[in-house]
């Protein structure tokens, strides 16, 4: 059934229905050859994407810019607010009101929660949220779902283990919500002090999913189909010794993977620091670099649907 | 001799059945007293038929019904009585609106609504009984709504 995303803001994964997500992921799959430059298009020629990145980013910014270029469009913007009028105290609202007159679509990353929602209020052009503080990162969630779908052929029924900082991690909050919507089974593995907030667990239950919470990774990995690892940040632990002890017990390495199913996939939103051993990269389990690439077809799908270009 | 804690007013508004302890917040939401002619009486933690309650009486002022629903978040069971010549001529039970703007602050210090931006605080009402609200911007739910009243 055709869906209308024309001129729509993309702020939170919760703004999408399951059918809309399925539609986007199906279209993204179709765009893979374009994302790899095996096929070419000028679908969004003459159109401009403004990237407003108030916080550091590698993958998100580059993949949005790549997506727009692969669609034949152009990109303007900044990766660091220090060279802009924000230093002079200009408000986000005024910055957005300026940017929308130079562009057809805005992508924004900002350290404060709700910034993308505010930007959408003041912008005449569509706004895509590339991450707002500890809030939402909907396109990351979509590319994570896309990765699971393409690697496992389905989302429903997979046993997905979310590992790491589940308390403060915006990616895992959105992903848990979306996976529950798609009826995946969920296991949350984290240190005691970084457990998944009860609000997220309650949201999962509303979809009929009862997540299992545990601190024991070795036990959880035995039945897992997907292991989604996230970084445990040092700054969350006032005591360095406790941090080192905790980080050690949640490391994904080849020894741990010997206890896992053969077809387990390991994902990570990146950047990784110590939580996945580099020796895992060469194993068939490692899908985090493919996951990073998947940001391109997914973001291409969103940009072309939002800008109303004829679907490729 | 029985002593009345609550004396009748001739003309004005009586806000009854306020959640005990929240009368001062009601005063703040309604920006009272507006002038020296408005005598405002407050009684807190008195016994009522349905348990303890606060009461606010505003003499010589009939509160605009549009303002009344603002207090519903902090006094969800309040009743508003408009008094003329000692008689109750109108009674209104407050109702929480579907959206709350500019009444209560988001408790999240990193929410954009707390930055120097040209927006007011804005909340969707998730549930009316018990009252639960969610910030439109950061999607957090304040644990204590009354605590954030502006």
Question: Chain B closest CA to A115's CA: distance in Å?
Answer: 6
**Chain B partners within 8 Å of A132 (Cβ):** 112
Beta bridge partners of A241: none
CB pairs under 8 A between A and B: 53
Q: Go through chain A and tell me how many residues it has.
A: 312
Per-residue pLDDT of chain A (312 residues; tens, 9 = 90+): 567 899 999 999 999 999 999 999 999 999 999 999 999 999 999 999 999 999 888 899 999 999 999 999 999 999 888 877 777 788 999 999 999 999 999 999 999 999 999 999 999 999 999 999 878 899 999 999 999 999 999 999 999 999 999 988 889 999 999 999 999 999 999 988 889 988 899 999 999 999 999 999 999 999 999 999 998 877 767 778 878 877 777 899 999 999 999 999 999 999 888 899 999 999 999 999 999 999 999 999 999 999 976 677
Look up residue B144 and give its two tokens: 């204590």
User: Pick from B113, B119, B138: which is nearest to A135 by CB?
Assistant: B138
pLDDT number for residue A164: 93
Q: Angle at CA A173, nearest 5°, toward A120 and A20?
A: 55
pLDDT averaged over consecutive 10-residue blocks of chain B (150 residues)? Answer: 68 92 86 74 90 92 75 86 93 87 91 95 90 92 84
Containing H/E element for B30? none
Active-site amino acid positions of A: 59-60, 88, 109, 137
Beta-strand relationship, B51-59 and B12-18 = antiparallel
pLDDT at A241: 82
pLDDT tens per residue, range B41-82 = 999 999 988 889 999 999 988 887 667 777 888 888 899 999
**Closest listed residue to residue A189, CA positions, set A153, A151, A219:** A219
- Starting from the edge strand earliest in sequence, which strands make up the sheet with B131-135, in order? B99-101, B122-128, B131-135
| Cβ of residue B41 closer than 8 Å to a chain A Cβ | no
Whole-number pLDDT of residue B34: 67
Helix axes A138-152, A288-306, angle to 10 degrees: 120
pLDDT for the residue A57: 86
Yes or no: say if A199 and A140 are a contact pair by the CB < 8 Å rule.
no
Give the pLDDT score at A237: 72
Q: pTM for the complete prediction?
A: 0.87
**ipTM given for this complex:** 0.85
Q: How many alpha carbons lie under 13 Å from residue A274 in its C-beta half-sphere? A: 12
A115: nearest CA partner in chain B: B112
Full 3-state SS string of chain A = CCCCCCCCCECCHHHCCHHHHHHHHHHHHHCHHHHCCCCCCCCCCCCEEEEEECCCCCHHHHHHHHHHHHCCCEEEEECCHHHCHHHHCCCHHHHHHHHCCCCCEEEEEECCECHHHHHHHHCCCCEEEEEECCCCCHHHHHHHHHHHHHHHCCCCCCEEEEECCCCCCHHHHHHHHHHHHCCCEEEEECCHHHCCCHHHHHHHHHCCCCCEEECCHHHHHCCCCEEEECCCCHHHCCCHHHHHHHHHHCCECHHHHCCCCCCCEEECCCCCCCCECHHHHHCCCECHHHHHHHHHHHHHHHHHHHCCCCCC
pLDDT at B2: 53
Contact B139 A136 (CB under 8 A): yes
């Amino acid at each position: 059934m055709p869906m209308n995303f024309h001129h729509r803001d993309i702020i939170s994964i919760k703004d999408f229905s399951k059918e809309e997500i399925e539609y986007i992921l199906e279209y993204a799959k179709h765009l893979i050859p374009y994302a790899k430059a095996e096929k070419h298009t000028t679908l969004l020629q003459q159109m401009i994407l403004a990237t407003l990145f108030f916080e550091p980013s590698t993958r998100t910014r580059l993949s949005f810019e790549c997506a727009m270029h692969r669609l034949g469009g152009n990109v303007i913007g900044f990766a660091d607010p220090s060279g802009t009028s924000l230093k002079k105290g200009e408000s986000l609202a005024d910055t957005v009101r300026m940017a929308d007159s130079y562009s057809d679509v805005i992508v924004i990353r900002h350290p404060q929660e709700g910034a993308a929602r505010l930007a959408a209020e003041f912008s005449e052009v569509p706004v895509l949220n590339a991450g707002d503080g500890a809030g939402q990162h909907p396109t990351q969630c979509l590319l994570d779902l896309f990765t699971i779908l393409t690697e496992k052929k389905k989302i429903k029924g997979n046993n997905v283990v979310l590992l790491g900082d589940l308390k403060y991690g915006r990616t895992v909050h959105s992903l848990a919500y979306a996976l529950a919507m798609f009826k995946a089974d969920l296991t949350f593995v984290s240190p005691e002090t970084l457990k998944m907030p009860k609000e997220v667990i309650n949201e999962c239950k509303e979809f009929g999913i009862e997540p299992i919470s545990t601190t024991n990774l070795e036990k959880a990995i035995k039945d897992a189909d997907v292991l989604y690892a996230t970084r445990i940040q040092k700054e969350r632990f006032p005591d360095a010794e406790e941090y080192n002890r905790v980080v050690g017990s949640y490391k994904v390495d080849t020894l741990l993977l010997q206890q896992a199913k053969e077809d387990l996939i390991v994902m990570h939103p990146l950047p990784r620091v110590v939580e996945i051993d580099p020796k895992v990269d060469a194993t068939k389990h490692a899908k985090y670099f493919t996951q990073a690439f998947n940001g391109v077809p997914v973001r291409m799908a969103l940009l072309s649907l939002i800008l109303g270009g004829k679907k490729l | 001799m029985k002593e009345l804690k609550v004396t009748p007013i001739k003309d004005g508004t009586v806000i009854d059945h306020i959640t005990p302890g929240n009368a001062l917040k009601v005063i703040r939401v309604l920006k009272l007293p507006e002038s020296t002619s408005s005598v405002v009486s407050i009684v807190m933690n008195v016994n009522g038929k349905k348990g303890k309650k606060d009461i606010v009486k505003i003499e010589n002022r009939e509160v605009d019904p549009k303002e009344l629903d603002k207090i519903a978040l902090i006094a969800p069971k309040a009743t508003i009585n408009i008094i003329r010549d000692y008689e109750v001529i109108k009674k209104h039970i407050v109702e929480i609106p579907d959206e709350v703007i500019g009444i209560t602050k988001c408790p999240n210090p990193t929410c954009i609504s707390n930055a120097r931006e040209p927006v007011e605080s804005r909340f969707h009402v998730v549930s009316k009984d018990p009252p639960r609200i969610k910030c439109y911007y950061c999607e957090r739910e304040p644990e204590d709504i009354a605590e954030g009243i502006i």
